[in-house]
Structure 1
Amino acid sequence: MAVDMFMKIDGIDGESTDDQHKGWIELVSISHGVTQPTSGASGTGGRTGGRADFEPFTAMKEIDKGTPDLNIKCAKGEHIPKIEVHLCEAAGDKHIFMKYTMENIIVQAVMPTCSKGDIKPIETVSFAYGKIKWEYTELGQDGKPGGSTDRTWNLETNKQD
């Protein structure tokens, strides 16, 4: 399935003209990860885990009208209350099958990249966050949305909400 991705950042407008995501930022790619550091086997034979490491949420996008604001927020270390990212089917009814919602965010980095001959420069933006919610909606064989599952992790309390 081909995928379209959109991001809404509180206080920063994008240029999307998509019916469901007007004014959002269109994304080229995203990456995000959670890892659990473990030690070798303990005296009881089991591995021990620690506090999970949450990688920054990184989005690649074309440079757009939100670029100056992202750079200023990064430079000032200003908090962003909320960011939403939607992953949608690229064709048909464009059902949203994955949502990421982050709260208490700081822009960690804004890194533009441009090469000779590029149609439009892109930039990679990394976000550190205090809370993240993952919400997945199943899409049936007919492409219609089914049941959904969501989970939230609060990095500030190191607990599931």
Structure 2
Amino acid sequence: MKLSRTQKILAGIACLALYSIPLATINGAFDIFMKTDGSGIPDGESDGGSFPEYKGWIEIDSFSVGGSAPFAIGSIGGGGGDGKVSLTSMNVTMPVGQTSPGFFNNLTTGKFVAEIKLFMRTPNSSTEFMRIYMKNVFVESMSWSGVAGGDDKPFQSMSLAYQAVKVEYVTFDIKTNAEIDTFSAEWDLASNTATYPTK
């Protein structure tokens, strides 16, 4: 079966998104950092540790995102799946922090975040093996939960809707940590095209 260019792109987004979900449940397998741009939300509380480039980012505990593109078997060869993609909102969990009131303000006022970046790296390394970019992001829902007497801060859960998304997966040399290649896919829900707005 020969897939159209759009179907290949959608398949790439779906595969990378689904690939990220089980990884996010592996404790200590990798670190997740999130950054907001152009939103009025203050910087996160990460000190970056040995990697100052992450200073001011938000440390994320887990995330999930995905999509679907229903395909009618009878339309094989005719591009039956083109333009019918449905992408889920990005769900994230993290400890409460100084960014929490800012996200809550965006939820209550409907203000959008110009761009949110979600980067994943291997432990004790600045090697980013996966990057997710989201453009024009709205806080759809938000909640806090916690248990008194515990050692951890209360948790914050959010659902983030977006206009466009871009996914990058980076392969690298295990010995040198040098990047080998970058595979990417993108989709704009507003224009229903395989693009990612620059503004």
5+ long unaligned stretches in structure 2: 1-27
Which structure dedicates a bigger proportion of its chain to strand? 1
Pair 1:60-2:90 in alignment: no
User: What's the counterpart of residue 75 of structure 1?
Assistant: 108
User: What's the counterpart of residue 97 of structure 1?
Assistant: 129
1:109-153 CA deviation, whole Å, 9 max, x = no partner? 111111233321111111100010001110223243221112211
CA distance in 2, matches of 1:138, 1:95: 10
Pair 1:153-2:197 in alignment: no
1:82-112 CA deviation, whole Å, 9 max, x = no partner? 1111101112x33111111110111111111
Pair 1:30-2:57 in alignment: no
| Matched residues, number | 159
User: What's the counterpart of residue 145 of structure 2?
Assistant: 113
User: What's the counterpart of residue 140 of structure 1?
Assistant: 173
* SS in structure 1 of the partner of residue 53 of structure 2: coil
Aligned CA-pair RMSD? 2.2
Paired letter, 1:151:
A
* SS in structure 2 of the partner of residue 65 of structure 1: coil
CA distance in 2, matches of 1:35, 1:78: 27
CA distance in 2, matches of 1:48, 1:150: 23
For normalisation by structure 2, the TM-score amounts to 0.73
Shift of 1:38: 3.8
CA distance in 1, matches of 2:71, 2:29: 36
Paired letter, 1:82:
E
For normalisation by structure 1, the TM-score amounts to 0.89
1:18-62 CA deviation, whole Å, 9 max, x = no partner? 1221111100011100112245x4498x99536111100111110
CA distance in 1, matches of 2:178, 2:94: 28
5+ long unaligned stretches in structure 1: none
User: What's the counterpart of residue 29 of structure 2?
Assistant: 2
Which structure dedicates a bigger proportion of its chain to helix? 2
Runs of 4+ in 1 over 4 A off after TM superposition: none
CA distance in 2, matches of 1:4, 1:61: 12
Deviates more, 1:142-151 or 1:94-103: 142-151
